[in-house]
Amino acid sequence: MTRTLTVAAVQAVPVAIGAPLDAFAAQVHEQRDAGAELVVFPELHLFGTETWPAAERTQRQRAAAVPLDGEFVQELCGIARDAGVWLIPGSVCERGKNDELFNTALTIAPDGTLVASYRKVFPWRPFEPYDPGDRFVTFDLDRTTAGLSICYDSWFPEVTRHLAWMGAEVVVNIVKTTTPDRAQELVLARANSIVNQTFTVSVNCAGPIGMGQSIVVDPEGGVLATAGAEPEILMVTLDLDHVTRVREHGTAGSNRMWSQFLPTDAALELPLYQGRIDPHRWEPPVSGHA
């Protein structure tokens, strides 16, 4: 049976902190009705601070930060359950146990269960106030495994490489890029897909606040869909078996990066990480099939 996943990448303007979630819930239901199985919103979509002076924004985020077991996240879980879809509602400002401030992406299953949370490992320093996370996160859908990354994470190849190694066939990169470097991020979305043989779903916030230009890329770097700068929804059905084929037959029928090492090869030391590539551990696991 062919494995597919229909994704709605919702390029939208951020919602102000504290705004009611009725309109957001309606958007989720609309995408479900349009055929989406996974609905994805941009980074910090529900934690917009643009209505306040720049000097107040970090303070507003800290004041609004939520625990993952709190009422706000439970309301998001209820929205996913009512719609019956997989939901990535962007990221939230998470209050840590020691008063840390994390930028945390959530994944909620159709039954309303919070199945994954990922704290941004590479905050955009020196501009962002967040504490960094300390681990990479994947989650299993019905027919595949997906990985989470947030905005500036895409600039660090270690993130997508580890997600792919952990079994991700789809990497969801939620973004809030308001600066001209969105042009470079589009290159990175394709490059990360090519060198890891994964789909990339990169969802940016819309203008006039964000640069837009959301993009969906296939495992060989082909662009499946792109958006302009204004609010727009990319509805794309991913052929998950494309990952299987490209890893078996090679990118462009040639390159099999995940089959690079032989069991008899010596380990490759990685002095930057004080670690190594062990040929016995190189290949990622095979994602589940329906």
Residue 61 forms part of a structural domain? yes
Supply angle C-alpha 285, 226, 290, rounded to 5: 30
Residue 59 forms part of a structural domain? yes
Residue 286 forms part of a structural domain? no
**Paired sense of beta strands 145-150 and 170-174, if any:** parallel
Distance CA(91)–CA(176), nearest Å, equals 10
Residue 109 forms part of a structural domain? yes
Phi, psi (rounded to 5 degrees) for 7: -115, 135
Q: What is the CA radius of gyration of the chain?
A: 19
DSSP conformational letter for 274 = T
| 112: nearest Cα among 69, 141, 137, 82 | 82
pLDDT of residue 94: 98
Residue 268 forms part of a structural domain? no
Distance CA(150)–CA(119), nearest Å, equals 8
pLDDT in tens, the chain (290 residues): 789 999 999 999 999 999 999 999 999 999 999 999 999 999 999 999 998 998 899 999 999 999 999 999 999 999 999 999 999 999 999 999 999 999 999 999 999 999 999 999 999 999 999 999 999 999 999 899 999 999 999 999 999 999 999 999 999 999 999 999 999 999 999 999 999 999 999 999 999 999 999 999 999 999 999 999 999 999 999 999 999 999 999 999 999 999 999 999 999 999 999 999 899 889 898 765 44
Question: How many domains does one find in the chain?
Answer: 1
Residue 266 forms part of a structural domain? no
What tokens does 244 get? Answer: 């299987």
CB-hemisphere CA count at 13 Å for 94? 22
pLDDT of residue 280: 87
pLDDT of residue 15: 97
pLDDT of residue 287: 67
Residue 281 forms part of a structural domain? no
Domain span at residue 222 reads 4-260
Q: What is the CATH number of the domain that holds 153?
A: 3.60.110.10
| 240: nearest Cα among 191, 201, 202, 199 | 199
pLDDT of residue 290: 43
Task: Please write down the HEC assignment for all residues of 135-194.
Answer: CCCEEECCCCEEEEEEHHHHHCHHHHHHHHHCCCCEEEEECCCCCCCHHHHHHHHHHHHH
